[in-house]
């Protein structure tokens, strides 16, 4: 370990470049041709396959695996991408262990499912590396649609609309498109700038004009977009981060995990990122795991992830929990934060033990911390939005909002699982509904 790794406080350069490169390497290395064929041969090609039902985008999994087995991975990729245009990224980040692979007949019979996720990556990578875009635009319809948010939902919606012959203007508040895929997932899940390369490949469909640095409410309004376009799709995600509402929660060193992950994803030099010696991450979801593991990979000596309920209630999958533990992250459950201690900057964080109903047991613990990351949920940000259901945009059917001509999908919309693959499905389905609505009125 680099000598700087033991340094007290929040500092950069805790590990040398070689250690950083090893830690942030590809979590699931790509299959080679032989490995892919061997993995594909394990599939039973089930009729009414449970894996298809478990996939939010309804990919015909037995078909694409058979296409790999018969030596046509590019055809397999088209089968995947016809349902999920971001199939390459979903193959990397989708919790397949709790979706398609969990219900695989091989998993039920042997405890070892077909490696569906890596086979999907193999096929989509092969097609993307060829430079071929397998879809073409239909005849121009003369309709224009504004898609706000260039994350998974917005990208899927924009691509499907463009393929139907519509012209799409895709807005995003950030400097780069990609949303969660570009800014919000662990770097070891998406290496070699894959998120940006996938967007570039997707845009080859044509008919999509990208406008970055354009935020809803700041640079344009929903009313303006509705007046200027035939339809609007909102895929704006959740831009706010819940505060740590305890005494001392605003001390220096208490940060949001989403911002930490975004900074890490955009850093040209990982060694330049400051990280604490003693890091505490509050939360039990995928964002908490991504922040905790990456803090450890940056050289933090002690990383503790604390969740207020038991492990069975954590949103992070068991695989993600085990990944964190394997990387040296300590996981404490049934403990809720009650105070942050320190003179200006955080030095300790105090927790109260709870039961699963969040009732304090009367026992407390303190954990030394010079850096604390909040991963306790995000909130919808925006004014003059369609009607809400709870804290998200209310939708019916395939994403129709309370405002005529406005659809919504992804994390900003009520319902769904807050997964990349779910956002893709919602964007795709909204696009089809928009197309039907627009062309039906034209007819």
Architecture of domain 144-239+380-442: 3-Layer(bba) Sandwich (3.50)
Please state, in angstroms and rounded to a whole number, the distance separating the CA atoms of residues 50 and 134: 27
* Stretch(es) of the chain classified as CATH 3.50.50.60: 3-25+242-377, 144-239+380-442
State which fold the 33-129 domain adopts: Fumarate Reductase Iron-sulfur Protein; Chain B, domain 2 (1.10.1060)
pLDDT in tens, the chain (443 residues): 566 777 889 999 999 999 999 999 999 999 999 999 999 999 999 999 999 999 999 999 999 999 999 999 999 999 999 999 999 999 999 999 999 999 999 999 999 999 999 999 999 999 999 989 999 999 999 999 999 999 999 999 999 999 999 999 999 999 999 999 999 999 999 999 999 999 999 999 999 999 999 999 999 999 999 999 999 999 999 999 999 999 999 999 999 999 999 999 999 999 999 999 999 999 999 999 999 999 999 999 999 999 999 999 999 999 999 999 999 999 999 999 999 999 999 999 999 999 989 999 999 999 999 999 999 999 999 989 999 999 999 999 999 999 999 999 999 999 978 899 999 999 999 999 999 999 985 44
What is the reported pTM? 0.96
The pLDDT of residue 443 is 41
Nearest to residue 386, comparing CAs of 366, 407, 362? 407
Instruction: Note the pLDDT of residue 189.
Output: 96
Nearest to 40, CA basis, from 49, 48, 31: 31
> What's the pLDDT at 4?
74
Domain with CATH 1.10.1060.10 in the chain: 33-129
Q: H/E/C letters for each residue in the chain?
A: CCHHHHCCCCECCCCCHHHHHHHCCCCCCCCCHHHHHHHHCCCCCCCCCHHHHHCCCCCCHHHHHHHHHCCCHHHHHHHHHHHCCCHHHHHHHCCHHHCCCCCCHHHHHHCCCCCHHHHHHHHHHHHHHCCCCCCCCCCCCCCEEEEECCCHHHHHHHHHHHHCCCEEEEEECCCCCCCHHHHCCCHHHCCCCHHHHHHHHHHHHCCEEEEECCCECCCECHHHHHHHCCEEEECCCCCEECCCCCCCCCCECEEEHHHHHHHHHHCCCHHHCCECCEEEEECCCHHHHHHHHHHHHCCCCEEEEECCCCHHHCCCCHHHHHHHHHCCCEEECCEEEEEEECCCECCEEEEEEECCCCCEEEEEEEEECCEEEECCCEECCCCCCCCEECCEECCECCCECCCCCEEECHHHECCCCCCHHHHHHHHHHHHHHHHHHHHHHHC
Domain 3-25+242-377 has CATH 3.50.50.60: yes
Find all residues with CB under 8 Å of 147, minimum gap 6, and list them: 154, 157, 158, 161, 168, 169, 170, 171, 232, 233, 235
- pLDDT recorded at residue 3: 62
């Amino acid at each position: 370990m680099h000598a700087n790794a033991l340094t007290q406080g929040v500092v950069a350069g805790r590990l040398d470049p070689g250690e950083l490169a090893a830690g942030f390497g590809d979590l699931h290395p790509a299959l080679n041709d032989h490995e892919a064929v061997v993995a594909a041969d394990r599939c039973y090609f089930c009729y009414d396959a449970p894996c298809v039902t478990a996939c939010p985008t309804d990919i015909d999994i037995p078909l694409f695996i058979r296409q790999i087995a018969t030596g046509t991975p590019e055809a397999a990729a088209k089968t995947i991408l016809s349902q999920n245009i971001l199939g390459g990224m979903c193959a990397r980040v989708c919790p397949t262990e709790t979706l398609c692979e969990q219900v695989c007949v091989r998993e039920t019979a042997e405890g070892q499912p077909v490696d569906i996720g890596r086979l999907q990556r193999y096929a989509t990578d092969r097609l993307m590396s060829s430079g071929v875009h397998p879809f073409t635009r239909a005849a121009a319809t003369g309709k224009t649609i504004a898609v706000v948010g260039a994350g998974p939902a917005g990208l899927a919606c924009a691509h499907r609309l463009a393929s139907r012959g519509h012209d799409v203007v895709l807005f995003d508040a950030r400097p780069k498109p990609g949303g969660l895929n570009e800014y919000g997932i662990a770097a070891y899940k998406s290496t070699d700038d894959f998120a940006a390369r996938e967007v570039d490949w997707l845009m080859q469909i044509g008919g999509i004009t990208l406008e970055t640095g354009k935020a809803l409410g700041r640079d344009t309004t929903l009313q303006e977009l509705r007046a200027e376009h035939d339809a609007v799709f909102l895929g704006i995600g959740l831009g706010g981060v819940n505060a740590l509402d305890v005494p001392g929660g605003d001390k220096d060193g208490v940060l949001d995990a989403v911002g930490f992950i975004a900074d890490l994803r955009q850093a040209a030099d990982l060694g330049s990122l400051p990280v604490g010696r003693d890091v505490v991450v509050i939360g039990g979801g995928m964002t908490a795991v991504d922040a905790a593991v990456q803090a450890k990979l940056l050289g933090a000596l002690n990383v503790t992830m604390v969740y207020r309920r038991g492990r069975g209630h954590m949103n992070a999958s068991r695989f993600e929990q085990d990944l964190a533990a394997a990387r040296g992250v300590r996981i404490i459950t049934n403990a809720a934060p009650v105070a942050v201690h320190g003179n200006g900057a955080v030095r300790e964080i105090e927790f109260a033990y709870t039961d699963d109903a969040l009732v304090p047991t009367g026992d407390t613990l303190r954990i030394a911390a010079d850096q604390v990351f909040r991963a306790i949920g995000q909130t919808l940000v925006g004014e003059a939005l369609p009607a809400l259901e709870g804290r998200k945009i209310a939708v019916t059917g395939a994403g129709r909002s309370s405002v005529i001509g406005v659809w919504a999908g992804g994390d900003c919309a009520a319902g769904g699982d807050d997964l990349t693959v779910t956002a893709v499905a919602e964007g795709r389905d909204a696009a089809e509904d928009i197309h039907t609505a627009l062309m039906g009125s034209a007819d």
